[in-house]
Structure 1
Amino acid sequence: MILGLNHITIAVSDLERSLGFYRDTLGFTAHVKWDNGAYLSVGELWFCLSCDEPCPKSDYTHVAFDIAPNEFQAFTKRIVSQGVDVWKENKSEGQSLYILDPDGHKLELHSGSLKSRLEALTTKPYSGLVWL
């Protein structure tokens, strides 16, 4: 039986650049690095950078990271002021900033939860929504 999310690994073209972005810009904790990768963490999530050739995606696939509501404005203002690219405007429940990492991986900084999203759907349902 699956217990939950174990870790996320992303392909990066420049380990030092990506390590700097995730550690210094986003505030992840860096643990170790080696010739072709690094392990970091954010909260309880294990996050791996692996040297490879990233494949840019044009679809909506992205990774969303949780941020406290009272820290959202200051944190995202700092991120944007550092010139991080924004790839989408937020139009859904909760506060979100959609950004790209140095290799173009789509990320979201989000203040909200599944519970708050489901509550929002009771008053503003998606087209064709079916409750399961």
Structure 2
Amino acid sequence: MLTGFNHLTLAVNDLSRSFDFYSRLLGFRPEAIWNTGAYLSLGELWLCLSLSNEKTAAQAAGYTHYAFSIRQQDFDEFTQRLSDNEVRTWKENRSEGDSFYFLDPDGHQLEAHVGSLASRLAECKQKPYAGMRFFD
């Protein structure tokens, strides 16, 4: 049912510093930035930087998670299977595209996501986050 790696979200302490690190030093392509986050890409990788409220983002997982792609037609069956097996959830979806946020047996934060960076950016252009600007 899962079809591949979808995106990586990292909780960061200083958005400007992290944005500069990933874009200028590592060569990620800036896609969008807003008050509390940024989207960048590197080949097929979609990276989201999410400003953390924690003292140090690395100490508290915060919003750091690993997301896997799933086809829309498989989403309901997949989430039902995980629910039937009492897999715990860690967050409710509030963004574009269906997402199911769940924990593995060791507590790693995972996500099954329908959508792509392109679909997320298209949605954000219709309803941008606070302070959002795009790099076209």
Letter in 2 for 1:97: F
Q: Which amino acid aligns with 2:67?
A: A
Residue matched to 2:115: 112
Name the residue aligned to 1:101. Answer: 104
Deviation at 1:97, TM superposition (A): 0.3
**Structure 1: which 5+ residue stretches go unaligned?**
6-54
Instruction: Write out aligned runs for 1:15-94 (5 A).
Output: 57-94=60-97
Q: With structure 1 as the length reference, what TM-score do the two structures score?
A: 0.56
SS in structure 1 opposite 2:134?
A: coil
Alpha-carbon distance in 1 for matches of 2:119, 2:75: 16
Distance 1:91 1:75 in 2: 19
Q: Which residue of 2 aligns with 1:127?
A: 130
Pairwise CA RMSD: 1.9
Distance 1:100 1:112 in 2: 20
Q: Deviations along 1:36-72, whole A, 9 cap, x unmatched?
A: xxxxxxxxxxxxxxxxxxx984410000000011110
Compute the TM-score of the two structures, normalised by the length of structure 2: 0.55
1:124 CA drift (Å): 1.1
Q: Which residue of 1 aligns with 2:37?
A: none
Contact 1:56 1:104 in 2 (8 A): no
Higher relative contact order (CA 8 A, sep 6+): 2
State whether residues 56 and 105 of structure 1, in contact with CA within 8 Å, keep that contact through their aligned partners in structure 2. Answer: no
Q: Give unpaired runs (5+ residues) of structure 2.
A: 6-57
Query: How many residue pairs end up in the alignment?
Result: 79
Q: Which has the higher strand share?
A: 2
Which letter does structure 2 place at the counterpart of 1:109?
A: A
Secondary structure class of the residue paired with 1:59: coil
SS at match of 2:62: coil
- Partner Cα separation in structure 2 for residue 120 and residue 95 of structure 1: 13
